């Protein structure tokens, strides 16, 4: 079984997210990470889609490579930004023809230094519809969810309505990372109140470098709670202690999410394996 909608219907999933490396060194490191994580038999692994240029083609190559050369089931991220509808239909057609069955349909953020930004499909739900048009039943299609709301929405309630409408045409969602289980349970309650019951996978990012995670959080319109950040800052440059605390905090969050009935756990690995492997072992997955 390799479609994510079928995997979710059958039971709890575990999944790992990676980005396509830009250098040979990065590529070698990712190979290592994949070799170390493959024995954990993830339900699926996902590959992000960059803001432009050659990194976009690298996503395609890596996804097809994972499909053909490993035992892991890949999911390809795809974004609408700076693509025509025709480009997107072409990319989806290539995935369909290669036998890739799982797509994460996203709006994408314009690159910060971009001279030109355009959208022919400005909302992720439009990309979901295009993927259905191109793939028919070939694709299981996921979308992004933002527990603390998406920064472009005027308010949280409006964002939840947009999310529920998007989930009405998608098969599942994966959330932006967050640090308190209540953020996830609140999101599910809000969706249930809108009569939306599509599975939502929580996204977990283990903190192994607090400054880096705070930067990512800021870019995605969320934040690391101050009390949690202070615990990491208090450890200063002691990388081993930071790593251990990061694993401990993420393990606890995952356990709370599983206890709350999450349909699976999606780990943002940042192309490294050790924190994810330790959390996986701690949870006895
Ligand atoms: C799990 C996950 C994976 C990601 N992977 C990538 C990646 O690989 N590459 C990448 O570049 N980015 C990635 N992102 C980031 C994502 O592209 C950004 O967060 C982006 O800003 C929003 O994408 P979206 O698909 O949620 O957008 P949408 O669902 O299109 O929402 C964007 C905004 O539009 C609003 N909106 C939706 N529908 C309507 C409507 N009908 N009318 C008015 N407003 C509306 C929403 O409220 C929201 O504010 C990922 C995010 C997550 C959570």
Domains of the chain: 4-283 (3.20.20.220)
Residue whose CA lies nearest to ligand 1 atom number 21: 109
pLDDT of residue 54: 79
pLDDT of residue 100: 98
Are 22 and 55 in contact by the 8 Å Cβ rule? The answer is yes
Ligand 1 geometric centre to CA of 144 (Å): 6
174 to each of 34, 39, 121, 238, how far by Cα in Å?
Answer: 21, 23, 20, 32
- Look at residue 229 in the predicted model and tell me its pLDDT: 97
**pLDDT for the residue numbered 236:** 94
Q: What is the Cα–Cα distance from 146 to 159, expressed in whole angstroms?
A: 9
Residue 81, both tokens: 């930004």
Cα of 80 vs centre of ligand 1, distance in Å, is 10
Question: Does residue 17 have an active-site annotation?
Answer: yes
On whether the pTM is more than 0.95, the answer is: yes
Count of other CB atoms within 10 angstroms of residue 220: 17
- Decide if 51 contacts 80 (C-beta within 8 A): no
DSSP label at residue 169: T
Task: State in Å: Cα 284 to ligand 1 middle.
Answer: 33
Tell me, what's the pLDDT at 166? 98
Which of 17, 101, 183, 278 is an active site residue? 17
Predicted confidence at residue 163, as pLDDT, reads: 98
pLDDT, residue 113, reads: 77
Contact criterion met (CB below 8 Å) for 162 and 153: yes
- Pocket-testing residue among 74, 150, 174, ligand 1, by greatest number of atoms within 8 A of Cβ: 150
Going from the Cα of 18 to the center of ligand 1, the distance in angstroms, rounded, reads: 18
Nearest to 60 by CA among 73, 44, 49: 49
Distances (CA, A) of 83 to 52, 58, 100, 225, 265: 9, 16, 20, 36, 30
Which residue ranges of the chain lie beneath pLDDT 70?
A: none
| Helices H / strands E in the chain, number of each | 11, 8
- How many Å apart are CA 75 and CA 144, to the nearest integer? 13
**What residue owns the CA closest to ligand 1's atom 9?**
49
DSSP 67-120: HHHSSSPEEEEEE-TT--HHHHHHHHHHHHHHT--EEEEE-----TT-S----S
Query: Contacts by 26-29 with C-beta closer than 8 Å and gap 24+?
Result: 26/271, 29/271, 29/272
Report pLDDT for 41.
97
- Decide: 144 and 124 in contact? Cβ < 8 Å: yes
pLDDT at 190: 98
Q: Which atom of ligand 1 is nearest to the CA of 165?
A: 38
What pLDDT score was predicted for residue 3?
97
pLDDT recorded at residue 35: 97
């Amino acid at each position: 079984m390799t479609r994510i909608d079928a995997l979710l219907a059958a039971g709890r999933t575990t999944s790992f997210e990676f980005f396509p490396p830009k250098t040979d060194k990065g590529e070698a490191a990712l190979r290592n990470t994949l070799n170390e994580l493959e024995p954990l038999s993830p339900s699926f692994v996902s590959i992000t889609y960059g803001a432009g240029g050659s990194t976009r083609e690298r996503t395609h190559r890596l996804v097809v490579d994972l499909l053909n050369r490993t035992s892991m089931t890949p999911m390809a991220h795809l974004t609408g930004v700076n693509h025509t509808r025709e480009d997107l239909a072409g990319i989806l057609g290539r995935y369909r023809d290669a036998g890739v069955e799982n797509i994460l349909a996203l709006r994408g953020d314009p690159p910060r230094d971009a001279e030109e930004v355009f959208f022919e499909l400005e909302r992720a739900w439009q990309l979901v519809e295009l993927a259905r048009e191109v793939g028919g039943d070939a694709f299981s299609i996921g979308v992004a969810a933002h527990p603390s709301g998406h920064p472009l929405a005027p308010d949280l309630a409006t964002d939840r309505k947009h999310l529920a409408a998007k989930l009405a045409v998608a098969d599942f969602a994966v959330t932006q990372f967050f640090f308190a289980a209540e953020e996830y349970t609140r999101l599910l309650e809000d969706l249930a109140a809108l009569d939306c019951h599509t599975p939502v996978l929580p996204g977990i990012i283990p903190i192994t470098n607090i400054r880096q995670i705070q930067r990512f959080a800021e870019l995605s319109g969320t934040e690391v709670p101050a009390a949690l950040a202070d615990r990491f800052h208090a450890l200063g440059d002691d990388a081993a202690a930071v790593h251990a605390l990061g694993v401990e905090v993420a393990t606890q969050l995952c356990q709370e999410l599983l206890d709350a009935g999450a349909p699976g756990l999606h780990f943002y690995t940042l192309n490294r394996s050790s924190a994810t492997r330790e959390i996986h072992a701690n949870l006895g997955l």
